[in-house]
Structure 1
Amino acid sequence: MGQAQSGETPARYSHEELSKQLADKFARKCFTPLELYSFRDVFNSLADHEHGIRYLKEDTIARFLEIPDALGVSAVLFQMVSCLGAFPFLEDAPAVLGLEQMIVVVTLLTERYRRVLAGGAADRRKLLFRSLAVYDRKLSDTRPTDVGSASGESGRKGADQDDGAALATSSPRGFAIDEPGDDDGDVGPDDDDDELVLAAFDSLGYVGAFRHGGLSTYHGAMIPADNWRKLIMLLLLAAPLGAQESLSSYSNRLSGEELDSLRSTAESVLASFLNVEQVPGIKFARFDRVIAASMPFMFNGLTPLFEHFLFSRNLDFHRHKDEEPRPTARPPELVQPLLEKTGSIMNASVLSQMSFFIPGSSLFRKLRLLYSGEEDGYSMGSFESKVFNWRAPTILLVSGTRLPDEAGYTHKGPASPFLASLPSLRFPPGNTSADRGETLTFGAYLSQPWKHTHRECFGAEDTILFQLRPIHDVFRASTVNKDYVSFTKPSASIQVGGISFGCPPPHPSQAYRRSNLISLGPVSLALEDGFEFGCFTHNYTSQGGAFQTSVSRRFDFQDRFEISSIEVWGCGGDDEARQQAERWAWEAREAEARRRINLGTGDIEADRMLLEMAGLVGGNRSGGSMG
């Protein structure tokens, strides 16, 4: 299969022949011989027969992967799989899912896609969108109402116009967030598909033999909101899956409060793609931009799910050559809990949601509750004693209820010093349906240990500021402005202390002159030192400060809230916990030693010298009689 020599007429191949050769290429490049053997065995045991063709049906795939009926996602998943099975001729979808088609599907839905797609994750997002989209012109002609006019805020006007754009040409390098200005183009989806086809056939040496002229342009392509919601719930459920782990192992998350939490989390994720009351589906421009910047690991759970096709239960390496294969029953699986204990904010659904932008290997079964306001008290002193000794990454979560528009209002009485010290300029809330009492949840991921802020903030370029409720949003750290995290206790020169992300550190000299004003960063989260109130600011017009602006909400907004819960979780295992315990024990011993200074041993001069060093006697002070 070499390149055609110069001057020769390249051979012409049918779609079926080229697809078969592509599947063979994927099989040789992406699977081991044992995996292929298992794959064929699993396929043959599942396939239906009709007119000499062996293929998989929707209910067969759903039953094999143990897709829960409660999610109602089987039809959506089958549409995605049937479309990907037609790759690279997506206009031929849906494909009959034979063995060759399933090889392509498993390649594209697992990490193996990196070996065959030249554009990597960018190309994969194009394929996933096309596999989930529908092409209803009547549906696509629906125009969203102006978001800005609903809130009276002109900065929102036109913020969602990109939802009406067609597929945009995107570079395989970098994210949309890195590009200035409006990144939505008018390039048709056929151009993107052509690039995928050429990349695929370039690996086969048939670029000269293949001419891409039959692809249709679907300017009305969109993913229906309900379909996307169902798939999000499946992705949240599958996020913690390990190799050969069954999806049914997490069936406890599909009933009662767990199911309610799963649905609520899915709604928050869905809200970052569209307002379901104003637009019926997601266009590619929004899909591509939000996933690239805010949910790069969203589809990671599909890898262990679809790798089930690579492990046959009939394989028995202890069986003699002449013996018949004996199907082995799968032993009951004992699944370790995702969390040692749940918090008032953290639960399995929140953990899965965070795994969309923080690698799951750092989260699942790795978190330890270091500090809880409900258990340890809402004070910075308690926060410091519980968190500062942790020498691994930490995640702070804070939840509260939105305050009304009246600045400084609180049902507990007069305005707090924190609310009174906020700038008088206040942007509209972060979502159009905002109302008083709405629950808000924000958080931050820090890779560096916590410490006191003196002249400079601490933190690194991998610090992440994020929002989980009522909309999923992620704000990446800037590489220029390094005002990432501040921990400042109130003092004589700094009247209002607290914890802040993205705010410049308070300087005593400035605080003395302007003690009644807090300097909020363009994209920042500020928490009062008593953990009673908080304020999140998103000044999109400024184009960001220590943290970059949102890619889904391209307008100015601010949310002020009354804190109801605050937690800090440590990312790490037994080693980090042991080091923290040792540090706590050392500090306890040092404190006890300072309290039990041995005075009265009989060595009066030595005791007097010790007291003089401590400044307790000498000069104008009298230590009393030592006799």
Structure 2
Amino acid sequence: MGQTWGTESSPPQTENNLNQSSLHNYKISNNLLRKNFSNLESYSLQSTFENLGSIKNGKEVIEEEVLIQYLGFPDEIGIGPIIYRSFTYLASYPSPAHKENLLTYDGLIKAIAIYCDKVHDVILEDRIKLIFESFAIHEEHSTLGITPKMGVSYEKQPPYTEYPESKVSDVQEGEISEVGTLKIDSIDLDDDAAFLKALGLGKQENEETYIVSKVSCTEMIKILTGIIWLMTNEITFAKDVFEHSTNAEQILKVITPIVEHMARYDTELHNLPYSQIISPQTYIKWPIFKDFMQRNIPNGFDIFKPFFYGQFLIGQTLSQHRKKSVMIGPHVQLLPKLDETSEYLNPINLALLSLMLPEKVLRKKEWNYLYSGSKHGFSMNRFNTHVFKYTGPTLMIIRAELTSDRHSEQASSSKKEILIGAYIPEQWRTTSSPRTCFGSAECFLFELYPNFEVFPASNHNKNYIYYNPTFGIGFGGIATSGPTSSKIVSTDANSFVIQLDNTLQHGRYRNDALRNLANTFKLSATRSFFDTRFEVLEIEVVGMGGEGAREKQMRDWKWEDNESSKRLNNRKDKVDKEILKMAGIIDESKRSEIIKEP
């Protein structure tokens, strides 16, 4: 057959069209450089391109194997080819497409601008959506069925006019129309949409169509594994206590169940077995990914900014070796350094937490290791001494062993441990009554293992954190049976999502939509019910107030100790004075001391 093109294909590239397209791409790239890149960044990007580029088909381009080798991802992760495909897709903006694109200098500018968030006033589309689409395959859905698409066009006006779309036939019912001579050799007979269109029976002008962008679960695993690998290596660089980079295989074991959980956000996939979800034939669509990301990993793609900045905009231009961090350059913040070692805040868990924590705590230079149950003692008094008076946000991690499990939809019985916790955005304090809590809507709960899920505030009430030395600690509820009661009740009758008793050694973790109080935190997105009692193996609390917060806490405790000593001395002086008065040594009426003769 002859040359074919349908509704999903671009018209033939004439010299005029190519010149027009090249000029349009040049204008976008030039505007990005002029408005959003410094002179040094522009120079560095051009120098890096020249170092990596080679001539292909008469153009200077960066070839796939060169880019993959330059970025330095381990081969076993498999993200290198995905990143190259993403770059070439974004390089063809505003009509990006997965085809045989070449990564030219103009295209590299657009890809780096999108990844590094340097698109202000030039590219107005949602950059997170653009990045997702660059990983995805695309389909056009209409009443005619599903048509594969090369990409999602953001062209404001069609750039080509030489081959206009076929118009809908305006022949009235009962009339005869001259169709003319059909050149069958120019139509792909295997393409129903193209064939119907040639007959004037194709898509109607007012017919609603929509594009579905989706990434396979297996590729999503590679993408997230690459992200966590980058973060763990950055944490390893920033922390002297870690001597080796985290193994990619370890990360893969953590990421796979996370992608499974993400896929189950889709009601069509919710009840599929694990083997069918973790498959190249199972896909995560953009709306599903968007919902999962907003709730669980709002910082999911943020690590790409400093990474690609370091690779293209300053770091590798000035330093061709990788002995130092690849996250180099202005406005680039290393992940905070924890001032003491932690068994459970290891590089992988820190990386996962960094995907969900607020930016304000990630920008701090250091975090403070405040409390460990095994190190400082499992008691409310020891917790109070080490955590109270710390003025910044804190993070609590609870590692526990299940003692009873009423999960109706829980994983296999081999999973006996859980790793859960809470982000507390303000200073800890004792609550005044069983119905009083502290905290704000910034507070959230999370589970890292065996499931990965964040429970953000629902804004239904303000029952965030409850602290009572005689009761214990509770999150997401009140200690009474209801809002009108003032009597503290047992764990069966109260409404907490996570609670610890006053020994800090036993607790409960549950998700129950049928409880009589409105939920403080959002319920699980994929599990309708669970109710677990546990025995605490370890509790850790990390302060995220940054530099000076720990010192201020110690000064406040010292001041309170001094005041307590003063009060104690004053009471002692008062007691001594009363004893002297009773002995007749002090005469208050004369305001003087009388020394009796022997």
Which TM-score applies when normalising by structure 1?
A: 0.68
1:504 aligns with 2:478: yes
Corresponding residue for residue 267 of structure 1: 256
Describe the SS at the equivalent of 2:155: helix
Partner AA of 2:427 in structure 1:
P
Describe the SS at the equivalent of 1:453: coil
- In 2: Cα distance, 1:573 partner to 1:77 partner: 34
1:68 aligns with 2:74: yes
1:193 aligns with 2:168: no
- In 1: Cα distance, 2:102 partner to 2:495 partner: 57
- 1:183-207 Cα offsets, whole Å, 9 max, x none, are xxx999979935x333xx79xxx89
- 1:472-500 Cα offsets, whole Å, 9 max, x none, are 2112223340001001222xxxxxx2211
Change (3 A) 1:227 1:452: same
- In 2: Cα distance, 1:231 partner to 1:105 partner: 17
- In 2: Cα distance, 1:439 partner to 1:111 partner: 39
1:333 aligns with 2:335: no
- In 1: Cα distance, 2:237 partner to 2:110 partner: 22
Preserved contact between residue 239 and residue 360 of structure 1 (Cα < 8 Å): no
Preserved contact between residue 225 and residue 248 of structure 2 (Cα < 8 Å): no
Corresponding residue for residue 494 of structure 2: 519
Shift of 1:515: 5.2
Corresponding residue for residue 625 of structure 1: none
Shift of 1:51: 3.0
The structure in which a higher percent of residues are strand is: 2
Corresponding residue for residue 136 of structure 2: 133
**Counterparts of 1:438-449 in structure 2 under 5 Å?**
438-449=416-427
Preserved contact between residue 379 and residue 531 of structure 1 (Cα < 8 Å): yes
Corresponding residue for residue 223 of structure 1: 215
Change (3 A) 1:481 1:512: closer
Preserved contact between residue 189 and residue 218 of structure 1 (Cα < 8 Å): no
Change (3 A) 1:511 1:606: same
Partner AA of 1:468 in structure 2:
L
Partner AA of 2:50 in structure 1:
N
1:362 aligns with 2:361: yes
Shift of 1:435: 1.7
Corresponding residue for residue 428 of structure 1: 408
Corresponding residue for residue 177 of structure 2: none
1:28 aligned to 25, 31, 34, which one? Answer: 34
Task: Name whichever of 339-348 and 266-275 sits farther off.
Answer: 266-275
Corresponding residue for residue 237 of structure 1: 229
**Counterparts of 1:141-290 in structure 2 under 5 Å?**
193-194=152-153, 196-198=154-156, 222-239=214-231, 253-255=244-246, 261-274=250-263, 276-279=274-277, 280=279, 281-284=282-285, 285-290=287-292
Shift of 1:54: 1.1
**Counterparts of 1:560-571 in structure 2 under 5 Å?**
560-571=533-544
Shift of 1:393: 0.6
- In 2: Cα distance, 1:345 partner to 1:78 partner: 35
- In 1: Cα distance, 2:307 partner to 2:92 partner: 20
Partner AA of 2:276 in structure 1:
Q
Change (3 A) 1:435 1:530: same
For structure 1, the 5+ residue unaligned runs are 1-10, 138-165, 169-185, 316-327, 406-425, 491-496, 610-627
**Counterparts of 1:575-586 in structure 2 under 5 Å?**
575-586=548-559
Shift of 1:353: 0.8
- In 2: Cα distance, 1:229 partner to 1:267 partner: 6
Alignment root-mean-square deviation, CA: 4.3
- In 2: Cα distance, 1:66 partner to 1:347 partner: 23
Query: In the comparison of the two structures, how many residue pairs are matched?
Result: 498
**Counterparts of 1:596-611 in structure 2 under 5 Å?**
599=572, 604-605=577-578
Change (3 A) 1:373 1:259: farther
Partner AA of 1:32 in structure 2:
S
Percent same amino acid at aligned positions? 22
1:47 aligned to 42, 48, 53, which one? Answer: 53
Which TM-score applies when normalising by structure 2?
A: 0.71
Higher Cα Rg, which structure? 2
Shift of 1:98: 0.8
Preserved contact between residue 48 and residue 56 of structure 1 (Cα < 8 Å): yes
Change (3 A) 1:569 1:515: closer
Partner AA of 2:474 in structure 1:
S
Corresponding residue for residue 448 of structure 2: 468
**Counterparts of 1:116-131 in structure 2 under 5 Å?**
116-119=122-125, 123-131=126-134
For structure 2, the 5+ residue unaligned runs are 1-15, 167-192, 195-202, 204-208, 265-273, 326-333, 583-598
Shift of 1:608: 6.2
Corresponding residue for residue 382 of structure 2: 382
- In 2: Cα distance, 1:112 partner to 1:64 partner: 22
Change (3 A) 1:345 1:67: same
- In 2: Cα distance, 1:516 partner to 1:49 partner: 70
Shift of 1:118: 2.9
Shift of 1:461: 1.7
Shift of 1:532: 2.5
Point out which structure has higher relative CO (alpha carbons under 8 A, 6+ apart). 1
Preserved contact between residue 443 and residue 467 of structure 1 (Cα < 8 Å): yes
Partner AA of 2:440 in structure 1:
A
- In 1: Cα distance, 2:300 partner to 2:322 partner: 30
- In 1: Cα distance, 2:404 partner to 2:163 partner: 62
